Amino acid sequence: MAQTAMEADAARAVDRDRLWRRLMEMGRIGGFTTEDGHEGVNRPCLSPLDREARRLLIGWARAAGLAVAIDPAANLFLRLEGRDASAAPVLTGSHMDSQPQGGRFDGSYGVLAGLEAVEAIAASGIRPQRPIEVVAWTNEEGGRFAPGCTGSMSFTKAEPMAKFDDIRDAEGIRYADALAEQLALESDLPSRPLGYIPHAYVEAHIEQGPRLEAEGMDIGVVTGIQGCRWFTVTVEGRTDHAGTTPLRLRKDAVQDAIRAIQALNALMHDPDDVLRFTVGSFRVKPDTSNSVAREVVFTIDFRHPDAKVLRDRGDAVAETVARAMTTCTARVYERFHAAPADFAPLVPDVVELAARNLGLAALRMPSGAFHDAQFLARLCPTGMIFIPCRGGVSHHPAEYATPEACANGARVLARVLCDLAAV
Amino acid sequence: MAQTAMEADAARAVDRDRLWRRLMEMGRIGGFTTEDGHEGVNRPCLSPLDREARRLLIGWARAAGLAVAIDPAANLFLRLEGRDASAAPVLTGSHMDSQPQGGRFDGSYGVLAGLEAVEAIAASGIRPQRPIEVVAWTNEEGGRFAPGCTGSMSFTKAEPMAKFDDIRDAEGIRYADALAEQLALESDLPSRPLGYIPHAYVEAHIEQGPRLEAEGMDIGVVTGIQGCRWFTVTVEGRTDHAGTTPLRLRKDAVQDAIRAIQALNALMHDPDDVLRFTVGSFRVKPDTSNSVAREVVFTIDFRHPDAKVLRDRGDAVAETVARAMTTCTARVYERFHAAPADFAPLVPDVVELAARNLGLAALRMPSGAFHDAQFLARLCPTGMIFIPCRGGVSHHPAEYATPEACANGARVLARVLCDLAAV
């Protein structure tokens, strides 16, 4: 059978209803219903709910004939053997943990789409040259143990695993202890060493943004992950009585913080609307209506796919804030800086070709959000497949993707995995 | 003994050191020390600390032979009986609650100066014709339950007491429930009905502004209180992922709230710097650095001595905010509106005369801050005695008045109470 015919068979074998049923069943583990009827998920990593979700996944994988293994970071692997068992596997997957008020698709979709694609490949009688592995990365969200992506960072050696040992959750539990408990409770699973160099990595995910839906596209061909810089700005003034203190004698932290944000709006202005600039937190002290504010702390989330823009405008933040002060003083602290990740062309090109062969409208785009793929891109050719999600909403119970959009992503993924595992 | 001789005796009997010791002792209830060595107070109304402070006050009052009573608004009265027990009392006092980061003098000074003056009158062997009552009003500051002055508004029937029932503090506790708890825990105190018509009301207070100190004056003879309007503005947008959502598709509540405040700055501009405009609280939801804000709630504190300015500009707030919205919607709620109060000449004239007889430099001036006296002025002849405070600082741990300034105010108050209670 020719390669393209095999890929077409695999895509056709994707079972839309089975994928949807599994998404819904998985979403009930840690699931809750909001007052306005949305079905949210709260499934912290390394929790009993996380283990319940993994057991469900393992049951489906074994029924499909996949081999299960776990590594020291509790990353879970489901393997379809290749004709050459010693060849570097093609890796796909995402994560199973959620934000505290998360949705049913973020992460779970990438794992279940991977399982669906691999099951479709196997059911089509295709025996790929290379093994294909579906992975569920540990702690992508960082909702319980921050920062996230500790599973993929450990796997890729982006950071030594021990660096995360002493992270604590809100109850004071150490990451290392939670991980050891998980490994003990899953000691029936075959274990494997940490990390390897995959032949390629591809991750399916909801877009978590509105572009695909707004532009009527079926598939996002992700070309990289934009860079990100996070700042905390502290504006210090002096509190005074709101009724007695003339405005000319005040050091009003709210007013100078507002001037700073206006100046930052100008600095970050982008007519192409590619740059992302967000002030999402703004906290006032003493925060009473009849006292002039003595302090404001606000955050800056700044992202751009171009390293130069990220550097130049980010480096101008402190001076821009300082110039905006009239009576207060300001301190700017950069607490996070991630350079843009550009994916090598191989996987994006294969994704785009697969979408075209399926008659799906595809858009090349960077990812606005972080993903485990960011770290895999350092090891091997990497790509992502985005599907549209309603209103671009994510990290929220209202997060939703249609059954057909989910199936489209799995169909593209099945073709891509066939292609990448063929040689 | 002639009236002026009695007044002189009463003023002489004011014990500067006792008043100062009591101020310092009271300041330790809810007291804290800042990093730069200031002694602040955080004593929310209707809290265990508030009750502790009231018990301390009651102990001093009973030792001085005063009768204690409480009304349904938890206003606390300390009574020096008059020769005519049925005559309308002369009322003096202030409040015992503080701002969250408040000082030791605001409010407490007026109550303790009242106690000192009454004690001095009694110790001088003077038996005034009318009863003199010292009052500690409930919730003047509004720091826990906003708006403030609920005790004096209830007493004067400026508003029906039930109007405040459903005010909630930051933890969701209802004012009515906190009040009921206070009354139950103070049920050993004699209770009395809510409200009466005093013969006159006089309140001693730190200036909370810089004028007396700057002009070298000992006493402020307060002629009235500027008007005040408080608004709460709710800006509603939509939360979105900060990394993925293009700015043109956002409904960013922080950005529209900032536009609203800029527009309000323009509306409230006053070249004479008489108008007071303050945004002291600004709260964001969900308040995370990587999510676009779906809601901002900010407050407006607007004051002016001229009723027309207060009406015209205050009435323009809602439209000004609405016009500033680009993508969000806004609701403006006026939660408090107090017209300017001009005091009748009686009490200010008596205060000025008392200061002159004591050889103190007195300045007639309006009050920039809001006081319970504003509501009493509707019921009876009313006045206030201001003393200088360092740098005009108030609502801050650095708030300070010298022992001599505190004693001067109590001496003036003792003379004024003698005078007003004589007939």
pLDDT tens, residue by residue, B244-300: 899 999 999 999 999 999 999 999 999 999 899 999 999 999 898 888 999 999 999
- Give A294's contacts in chain B (Cβ within 8 Å): 396
Report the residue of chain A nearest B366, measured CA to CA. A244
Whether B284 sits inside 8 A of A282 (CB atoms) is yes
Q: Chain A interface, mutation test: which of B36, B235, B244, B295, most A Cβ atoms within 10 Å?
A: B244
Same domain, B163 and B41: yes
Distance of residue B114 Cα from the nearest chain A Cα, in angstroms? 23
- Reading the block at residue B250, the tokens are 């956002």
| Count: domains in chain A | 2
Torsion of CA A405, A411, A416, A422, to 10 degrees: 170
DSSP states along B15-67? -HHHHHHHHHHHHTTTEEE-TTS-EEE---TTSHHHHHHHHHHHHHHHHTT-E
Say what the pLDDT of residue B288 is: 84
Say what the pLDDT of residue B396 is: 87
Same domain, B248 and B264: yes
pLDDT band at B1 (very low <50, low <70, confident <90, very high): low
Say what the pLDDT of residue B117 is: 98
**Which helix H or strand E contains A6, and what residues bound it?**
helix A3-12
Mean pLDDT for all residues in chain B? 96
With a CB cutoff of 8 Å and minimum separation 6, the contacts of B150 are B73, B138, B139, B142, B161, B164, B167, B175
Closest CB to B301: pick one of A289, A299, A301.
A289
Same domain, B244 and B348: no
Closest CA to A238 of B43, B389, B274, B398: B398
Same domain, A253 and A212: no
Q: Which of A338, A355, A371 is the last residue of a domain?
A: A338
Summarised one tens digit per residue, pLDDT across range B228-247 is 999 999 999 998 889 989 99
Same domain, B220 and B117: yes
* CA distance linking residue A251 with residue A238, whole number of Å: 5
A93: left (phi over 0), alpha (psi -120 to 50) or beta: left
Distance of residue B282 Cα from the nearest chain A Cα, in angstroms? 6
Same domain, B296 and B212: no
- Reading the block at residue B108, the tokens are 């407490």
* CA distance linking residue B235 with residue B231, whole number of Å: 13
Q: How many CB atoms lie within 10 A of CB B267?
A: 17
* B34 and B397 Cβ atoms separated by less than 8 Å: yes
- Give A248's contacts in chain B (Cβ within 8 Å): 273
Same domain, A357 and A217: yes
* CA distance linking residue B130 with residue A266, whole number of Å: 67
* A280 and B287 Cβ atoms separated by less than 8 Å: yes
Give the range of the structural domain holding residue B346, as residue numbers without chain letter: 3-226+340-421
* CA distance linking residue A399 with residue A263, whole number of Å: 33
Same domain, B24 and B166: yes
Closest CB to A289: pick one of B101, B207, B299.
B299
- Give A285's contacts in chain B (Cβ within 8 Å): 101
Cα–chain center distance at A362? 20
Whether B254 sits inside 8 A of A261 (CB atoms) is yes
Same domain, B348 and B333: no
Q: Which of A338, A365, A399 is the last residue of a domain?
A: A338
Q: 3-state DSSP call for residue B172?
A: coil
Whether B258 sits inside 8 A of A262 (CB atoms) is yes
Say what the pLDDT of residue A10 is: 96
Distance of residue A82 Cα from the nearest chain B Cα, in angstroms? 37
Report the residue of chain B nearest A276, measured CA to CA. B243
Closest CB to B254: pick one of A210, A279, A286.
A279
Q: What is the CATH number of the domain that holds B171?
A: 3.40.630.10
* A416 and A347 Cβ atoms separated by less than 8 Å: yes
Say what the pLDDT of residue A1 is: 64
* B117 and B413 Cβ atoms separated by less than 8 Å: yes
Residue bearing the bigger pLDDT, B5 or A361:
A361
* A113 and A52 Cβ atoms separated by less than 8 Å: no
* B251 and B245 Cβ atoms separated by less than 8 Å: no
* A43 and A140 Cβ atoms separated by less than 8 Å: no
Same domain, B60 and B127: yes
Give the start-end residues of each E strand in B142-267.
200-206, 219-225, 227-236
* CA distance linking residue A132 with residue A141, whole number of Å: 25
Question: Tens-digit pLDDT profile for chain A (423 aa)?
Answer: 688 899 999 999 999 999 999 999 999 999 999 999 999 999 999 999 999 999 999 999 999 999 999 999 999 999 999 999 999 999 999 999 998 889 999 999 999 999 999 999 999 999 999 999 999 999 999 889 988 899 999 999 999 999 999 999 989 999 999 999 999 999 999 999 999 999 999 999 999 999 999 999 999 999 999 999 999 999 999 988 899 888 998 999 999 999 999 999 999 999 999 999 999 999 999 998 989 999 999 999 999 999 999 999 999 999 999 999 999 999 999 988 888 989 999 999 999 999 999 999 999 999 988 899 999 999 999 999 999 999 988 888 999 999 999 999 999 999 999 999 998
Same domain, A207 and A349: yes
Alpha helices in A37-174 (DSSP H): 48-63, 108-123, 150-156
Summarised one tens digit per residue, pLDDT across range B34-67 is 999 999 999 999 999 999 999 999 999 999 999 9
Q: What is the CATH number of the domain that holds B258?
A: 3.30.70.360
Q: Chain A interface, mutation test: which of B241, B255, B283, B285, most A Cβ atoms within 10 Å?
A: B241
Whether A244 sits inside 8 A of B209 (CB atoms) is yes
Closest CA to A420 of A66, A62, A126, A71: A126
* CA distance linking residue B153 with residue B160, whole number of Å: 8
Portion of chain B with pLDDT greater than 70, in percent: 100
- Give A282's contacts in chain B (Cβ within 8 Å): 254, 282, 284, 287, 293, 296
Report the residue of chain A nearest B269, measured CA to CA. A247
Whether B252 sits inside 8 A of A278 (CB atoms) is yes
Q: How many CB atoms lie within 10 A of CB A226?
A: 27
For residue A334, report the phi and psi dihedrals to the nearest 5 degrees.
Answer: -95, 115
- Reading the block at residue A381, the tokens are 């050719």
Whether B288 sits inside 8 A of A281 (CB atoms) is yes
Closest CA to B300 of B341, B334, B259, B338: B334
* B298 and B283 Cβ atoms separated by less than 8 Å: yes
ipTM of the complex: 0.79
Q: For residue B124, is pLDDT > 70?
A: yes
Q: Which of B315, B338, B361 is the last residue of a domain?
A: B338
- Give A287's contacts in chain B (Cβ within 8 Å): 280-283
Q: How far are the Cα atoms of A68, A207, A302, A369 from residue A373, in angstroms, in the given order?
A: 21, 14, 20, 11
For residue A300, report the phi and psi dihedrals to the nearest 5 degrees.
Answer: -125, 125
* CA distance linking residue B329 with residue A63, whole number of Å: 52
* A282 and B252 Cβ atoms separated by less than 8 Å: no
Q: For residue B416, is pLDDT > 80?
A: yes
Say what the pLDDT of residue A101 is: 85
Q: Chain B interface, mutation test: which of A234, A254, A289, most B Cβ atoms within 10 Å?
A: A289
With a CB cutoff of 8 Å and minimum separation 6, the contacts of A261 are A279, A298, B254, B258
* CA distance linking residue A327 with residue B66, whole number of Å: 49
Say what the pLDDT of residue B232 is: 98
Say what the pLDDT of residue B370 is: 84
Same domain, B295 and B376: no
Q: For residue B189, is pLDDT > 80?
A: yes
